[in-house]
Homo-oligomer: A and B are copies of this chain.
Amino acid sequence: MAVTMHDVANLAGVSIKTVSNVINNYQYLKPETKRRVQDAIDALGYRPNLSARGLRSGRTGVISLIIPDLRNAYFAELADEVMRAADAKGLSVIIEQSSGDRERELNLLTGPRTSMVDGILYSVLGLEEDDAHLLDRIETPMVLLGERIFHGPTDHVTMRNSESTKAATSYLLGQGRTRVVAFGAHRGEVIGSAGLRLAGYREALAEAGVPYDEALISEVGGWYRLEGAQAMQKLLASGVTFDGVVAFSDVIALGAMRVMQEAGIRIPEDVAVIGFDDIDETRYTLPTLSTIDPGRAEIARVAVDYLQERIAQGARAIPPREYFADFHIVERESSAVLA
C-alpha cells in the first residue's frame, strides 16, 4: 500500500503526531525535528491521504463551483478566475454544470457530492428571488454569484448591472447617438441580469432627456450567439431605425454584429455597438467590440475569500454580505468616435 504517516514517523524516529505537526506547519517545532521529518517525507515520497484528513478534520480542501455551462465564454472565464483564486489558497475546485436548470441546481446544492466539498460557489440561474428560502436549509457554506437572488441567507458577490449599463448607454448618447437599442431584454424580468441592465438603460435615457421608445427594446431569448443573431434579424425586419446598440452580453452582441454586417450596416459608422462582459474574444473580432468589464477577476477573488471565511467560521456565523465589483467601460472599434 501507499506510504503512511506511520512509515514516516518510524523512519524519522518520532510519533505520527510530530509528522502531522510538520505537515501542518505547526509553529513550535525544533528545526532539527522538522528537518528530520521532512527528510523522511522526501525519502519515502509520502503524500497525505486527503480522505483521511477530510474524515477526521471535516475539511476536504475542495470547493465546488456551480455554473450553467462551460461552453459559455463568460462562465469559462469566470471558472478560470475562480480556479486561480482557489489555487492561491490551496483549494481545489470541482465544477458542476447545471444548464441553468432549476431542479438540477437544487440537486447539486443538496446531493451526495456536497459531503465532499467544504463550500459552494453557486452561480444562480435556475432559482429565482422567490426561492431564496430554499437556500435556508442548506448547511454547506455557500456564496452566491449572479443576479437572480439578492438578499439570500448568505453572501452575494456580483457586479453593478444597472450602473454599468447606464454608463454604457450614456457613453453612446454622449457620442451623439440618439436611437440606441437595448439589446437583450427579457420580457417582464425585473431582477436578473437583463432586468437590471434594462433599468440602467432607462435611467441613462431619462438623465439625457431622451424619450423611451418601446420599439428600441429588443428581446433576446437567451445568452447564446445564435439568439443574438436571430433577435437582430427580427429587429432589422421590423424596419425600426437605430444608430446605437447597448447589448446585455458580448456573446449576443457578436451574434448581432454578424447579422448587421451581412445587412451592409457599418460598425461603428452607421451603428455603434457596446457589449457586456469583456470576454477575451471581444479584443479580436472585426471590429473589436467595446464592452463593459464587470470586474470578473475581482468577483472571483472576493467570492473565494468570503467562502473561505465562511468555511473557517461556520456557514451561519457571519451575517450575509453583499459585494459589488467595480466596473469600467472598455472602448474599442465598435464604438469608435467618428472622425
A residues in contact (CB < 8 Å) with B: 2, 47-52, 54-55, 60-62, 69-71, 73, 76-77, 79-80, 83-84, 87, 92-97, 110-116, 139, 225-226, 229, 254-255, 257-258, 261-262, 280-281, 283-286
Can you list 17 A-B contacts (CB < 8 A)?
A: A2-B115, A47-B112, A51-B52, A62-B116, A70-B77, A76-B76, A83-B96, A92-B94, A92-B96, A93-B94, A95-B95, A225-B284, A226-B283, A226-B284, A229-B284, A255-B284, A286-B286
Do residues A62 and B115 form an inter-chain contact, with CB atoms below 8 A? Answer: no
* Complex alpha-carbon distance, A93 and B93, angstroms: 9
A87, B255: Cα distance in complex, Å: 31
Residue numbers in B under 8 Å from A83 (CB-CB): 70, 95-97
The reply to whether B94 and A51 contact each other, CB–CB distance below 8 Å, is no
Residues of B within 8 A of A48 (CB): 112, 115
CA separation between A226 and B280, bound complex, in Å?
10
Each complex incorporates copies of this chain amounting to 2
A261-B286 in contact given A50-B115, A94-B62, A95-B93 (Cβ < 8 Å): yes
Q: How far is the CB of A287 from chain B (nearest CB, A)?
A: 9
Structural contact, A258 and B286, CB atoms closer than 8 A:
yes
A62 vs B52: C-alpha distance when bound (angstroms):
15
Least Cβ–Cβ distance between A17 and chain B, in angstroms: 19
CB contact under 8 A between A112 and B71, given known A94-B92, A95-B83, A286-B261: no
**Smallest Cβ distance from A116 to chain B, in angstroms?**
4
A48 and B115 alpha carbons, distance in the complex (Å): 7
Roughly how many angstroms separate A94 CA and B116 CA in the complex, as a whole number?
12
Identity of the chain B residue whose Cβ is nearest the Cβ of A284 in the assembled complex = B225
Are B280 and A50 in contact (CB-based, < 8 A)? no
Q: Which residues of B contact A49 (CB under 8 A)?
A: 55, 115
A94–B97 touching, CB < 8 Å:
no
Contact of A116 with B284 in the complex, beta carbons under 8 Å = no
> From residue A13, how far is it (CB to closest CB) to chain B in Å?
24
Also in contact, A51 and B47, with CB within 8 A (given A77-B70, A92-B113, A113-B92): no
A44 to B262, CA, bound (A): 60
Separation of A102 and B280 alpha carbons in the complex (Å): 25
Q: Are B258 and A116 in contact (CB under 8 A)?
A: no
Interface centre among A112, A226, A261 (most CB of B within 10 A): A112
How distant is the Cα of A281 from the Cα of B139 in the complex, in angstroms? 39
Cα A180 to Cα B3 in complex, Å, equals 57
- Among B94, B95, B229, B281, contact of A281 (Cβ-Cβ < 8 Å): B281
Q: Which 8 A-B pairs have the closest CB atoms?
A: A51-B54, A76-B76, A51-B55, A225-B284, A50-B116, A70-B80, A258-B286, A70-B76
Cα A43 to Cα B93 in complex, Å, equals: 31
Q: A51-B54, A51-B55 are known contacts; what are 14 more A-B pairs with Cβ within 8 Å?
A: A2-B115, A49-B55, A50-B112, A51-B51, A62-B94, A70-B79, A70-B83, A83-B95, A83-B96, A83-B97, A94-B94, A229-B284, A262-B286, A286-B286
**Candidates B50, B70, B80; contact of A113 at CB < 8 Å:** B50
